[in-house]
Amino acid sequence: MREYFIFLGDFLFSTSYDRTARCWDFNTGICISIFIGHNHGILPILFIRSTHDTGEEKDFENEMNIYTKDILITGSQDTTAKIWSVETAECLKTLEGHIGAILCMAMDVLGKILFTGSGDNTIRVWDIKRGNQLRIYDQHQAPIINLLVRRK
């Protein structure tokens, strides 16, 4: 079974054809949390670190803002991308629109815009905070297998 993973200091995040993403303690090898919700295998994975100042008071607006928490984004063969709370493993948003598996993902340098590449030959652009689709690039004649975002 092929797995994709990212390593962040003391944590390792992985995705699998078993339809889960997992967070592991790098030092002990113990699985800390399991992200469950996709209907098919999960391929690409991205981590976005919180932009929240931990000294700030918690209020309703901050609690509802996904940028106040570390988030994980997964792309799946079920044609969706999901945005997860790293802290709770709860799915915060599901991004729907592709009609083929999501094979790759990238984000802008600020971590606010998500790009998903799919087996449906399209690249879709998403506002991560709102979860809405911003644009579709549809000129490829075959599945999108990699994305790279670079600012001018």
For residue 148, tell me if it sits in a domain.
no
For residue 70, tell me if it sits in a domain.
yes
Total number of domains constituting the chain: 1
Give the pLDDT confidence score for residue 3 in this predicted structure. Answer: 52
For residue 72, tell me if it sits in a domain.
yes
| 89: containing domain | 3-52+59-137
- Bridge pairing between strands 81-85 and 91-95: antiparallel
For residue 151, tell me if it sits in a domain.
no
| Span of 49-53, 73-77, 114-118, 148-152 with lowest mean pLDDT | 49-53
Q: Which two tokens stand for residue 90?
A: 């709860």
Give the pLDDT confidence score for residue 1 in this predicted structure. Answer: 47
For residue 81, tell me if it sits in a domain.
yes
Give the pLDDT confidence score for residue 152 in this predicted structure. Answer: 78
Give the span between the Cα atoms of 35 and 72, in whole angstroms.
Answer: 9
SS (H, E, C) 37-61: CCCCCEEEEEEECCCCCCCCCCCHH
For residue 101, tell me if it sits in a domain.
yes
Question: 135, 148 in Cβ contact below 8 A?
Answer: no
For residue 48, tell me if it sits in a domain.
yes
Mean per-residue pLDDT for 130-146?
Answer: 97
For residue 35, tell me if it sits in a domain.
yes
- CATH number of the structural domain spanning residue 69: 2.130.10.10
Summarised one tens digit per residue, pLDDT across range 39-95 is 999 999 999 988 754 444 455 444 455 557 899 999 999 999 999 999 999 999 999
Summarised one tens digit per residue, pLDDT across range 12-46 is 999 999 999 999 998 899 999 999 999 999 999 99
